[in-house]
Amino acid sequence: MNGVLLQACVSFRKKLSQSFLQTHSSHSKRFFSSPKFTRTTQKTNKLQNALRVIDLITPKPSPAARRRQGHLRLIQDFLQSDSDHFTVGSASSDPTNPRVKISTLFDESVLSHAISSCGSSRNLHGGVQYHCAAIRIGFIANIYIGSSLVSLYGRCGELQNAYKLFGEMPVRNVVSWTAIISGFAQAWQVDVCLQLFSEMRNSLEPNDFTYASILSACTGSGALGHGRSAHCQTIRTGFDSYIHISNALISMYCKCGDVKDALYIFQNLDGRDNVSWNSMIAGYAQHGLALQAIDLFEEMKRQRVKPDAITLLGVLSSCRHAGLVKEGRLYFNSMIKEHGIHPELDHYSCVVDLLGRAGLLEEAREFIEKMPIRANAVIWGSLLSSCRVHGSVWIGIEAAESRLLLEPECASTHVQLANLYASVGYWDGAARMRKLMKDKAIKTSPGFSWIEIGDEVHKFRAEDCSNPKMIEIIDLLDSLADHIKTLAYEPEMEEED
């Protein structure tokens, strides 16, 4: 089947090249463009020259023709970027008539399923090839294929392209709307999700997956007010009894800071699954409620619910936040012996952070050296942060250098390593790191925080004075600092790297 599909894509590309030679237009506009698809080989440059203009503009195109041109623009960069993906292997199809052969192998449901599979695995290149096949066969107007393509581009982070496809769909159903809402929810763009949700309700009733996507957007953006509103709507529609909706509500309330409501939903939930237990344990861990997380984990075992890797990650995370070194060691060692779960990098990272926060830096370094898998940048970063807190310069230098080998463009690590060099009088090393940052134009990204007031989420970025109420905010902070000083407490000011 793959050989047949590749043959069709080759034929499709040839026809586009022939059309270019016949009709040359200088009004091409890139729609789907990404630097990672650009190659500098001579072969690709020739292809780019041949396909520089792929849009064939007619004087008065019909709506169907306009939709087709939009799809052609969408796959333009894919065709230009890597012709190796169209290399034809041994195939039994007739190269002179690939359409007949493909039509006998594909129908709408098969092609829709293939595109959905690419979306699930974030396989953008494979999905674009199936997009080509849908155009070639004439299935592009099918509602199920269109919905699958919207989901594909949304899951791969191509939101502009997903929205473009969604806008060109001649007919939309609840799956189409949910796919585009889910794409923006993945990027935590709650305002866009709510706008699409409002438009959807003018013609269709949302389903449980639509509400799950809305709750996901609220979870990632910290929009508790919008999350509560979505919760009320799930109650009214009866979707609150669905297990995946309840689990989404638990996560939303935990991550938005309302552990009490999350616990209420958890305690009143019938038929809890692993996701329910994991969400509540992770919520406790997030808020530093280590004892509650451990108690819930023990209750989970008493009810004979088998924990998984995510469960143990939540328990280890709670031990890390509370500094429970003994308990953390115990639960980590029990992963294989008691539960048959092999630790992953995230579990090792938790243990390194746990030991580092407790000041056991030598033990943390030895733990990294004995790991059966190679430490990643997160693990070295955890050790580096602990070294800064406890003043262990030489281990910190080792951690920073190891992290830079894995993430050469990490700005904060450059700054931290320069500061560590300077603290031991290694001025040449400090100057070298500063120069390296300047030569590579590496700059630190300012941190930001957010707070929800009413139904609006306000973001505050470091050194950003664009907020129209910044003067009132600074005055209030100054008055709070003065009040703290009257209580004989000197507020600590921490410098940004």
3-state secondary structure of 383: helix
pLDDT value for 347: 96
Ranked by mean pLDDT, the top range of 138-147, 208-217, 440-449 is 208-217
Q: Report if residue 419 sits inside a domain.
A: no
Q: Report if residue 40 sits inside a domain.
A: yes
More confident residue, 343 or 496: 343
Mean pLDDT confidence for 93-112: 55
Q: Report if residue 292 sits inside a domain.
A: no
**Are the CB atoms for 319 and 292 separated by under 8 Å?**
no
With 0.75 as the threshold, say if the pTM is over it. Answer: no
Report d(CA 285, CA 279) in Å as an integer: 10
What sign for the dihedral angle of Cα 351, 352, 357, 362?
positive
More confident residue, 269 or 50: 269
**Are the CB atoms for 234 and 245 separated by under 8 Å?**
yes
Q: Report if residue 51 sits inside a domain.
A: yes
pLDDT value for 56: 33
User: Considering 171, 200, 231, which residue would you say is the last residue of a domain?
Assistant: 171
More confident residue, 163 or 4: 163
3-state secondary structure of 234: helix
Report d(CA 154, CA 241) in Å as an integer: 28
Burial 77-88 (b: 16+ CB within 10 A, else e): bbbbbbbeebee
pLDDT value for 99: 40
pLDDT value for 215: 93
Q: How confident is the prediction for the chain on average, in pLDDT?
A: 78
Count of C-beta atoms within a 10 Å radius of residue 251: 24
pLDDT value for 102: 45
Mean pLDDT confidence for 298-311: 94
| H-assigned helices in 269-376 | 274-286, 290-302, 309-322, 325-337, 345-357, 361-369
Count of C-beta atoms within a 10 Å radius of residue 230: 28
Query: Closest by alpha carbon to 421, among 449, 406, 401?
Result: 401
pLDDT value for 439: 76
User: Considering 152, 171, 190, which residue would you say is the last residue of a domain?
Assistant: 171
pLDDT (tens digit per residue) in 363-404: 999 999 999 999 999 999 999 889 888 878 889 889 988 988
User: Minimum mean pLDDT among 32-46, 118-132, 362-376: which range?
Assistant: 32-46
Q: Give the chain's domain count.
A: 2
Q: What angle do CA 82, 85, 90 make, to 5 degrees?
A: 150
Report d(CA 149, CA 179) in Å as an integer: 9
- The pair of structure tokens assigned to 296 is 């819930």
Range of the domain at 475: 448-486
Q: Report if residue 375 sits inside a domain.
A: no
DSSP assignment of 79-129: HHH-GGGG---S--S-TT-HHHHHHHH--HHHHHHHHHHHHHTT-HHHHHH
Q: Report if residue 454 sits inside a domain.
A: yes
More confident residue, 28 or 304: 304
pLDDT (tens digit per residue) in 316-334: 999 998 999 999 999 999 9
pLDDT value for 98: 40
pLDDT value for 280: 96
pLDDT (tens digit per residue) in 432-460: 878 877 777 777 666 667 676 766 767 77
Q: Report if residue 254 sits inside a domain.
A: no
pLDDT value for 150: 92
pLDDT (tens digit per residue) in 467-486: 777 788 888 888 888 888 88
Element (H, E) at 461: strand 456-461
pLDDT value for 490: 65
Query: Closest by alpha carbon to 34, among 104, 101, 82?
Result: 82
User: Considering 171, 187, 205, which residue would you say is the last residue of a domain?
Assistant: 171
CA atoms within 13 A on the CB side of 310: 11
Q: At residue 68, does pLDDT exceed 80?
A: no
Element (H, E) at 224: helix 224-237
Q: At residue 493, does pLDDT exceed 60?
A: no
- The pair of structure tokens assigned to 123 is 């396989």
Split at pLDDT 50, 70, 90, the class of 267 is very high
Report d(CA 132, CA 98) in Å as an integer: 13
Q: At residue 226, does pLDDT exceed 50?
A: yes
pLDDT value for 332: 96
Q: Report if residue 317 sits inside a domain.
A: no
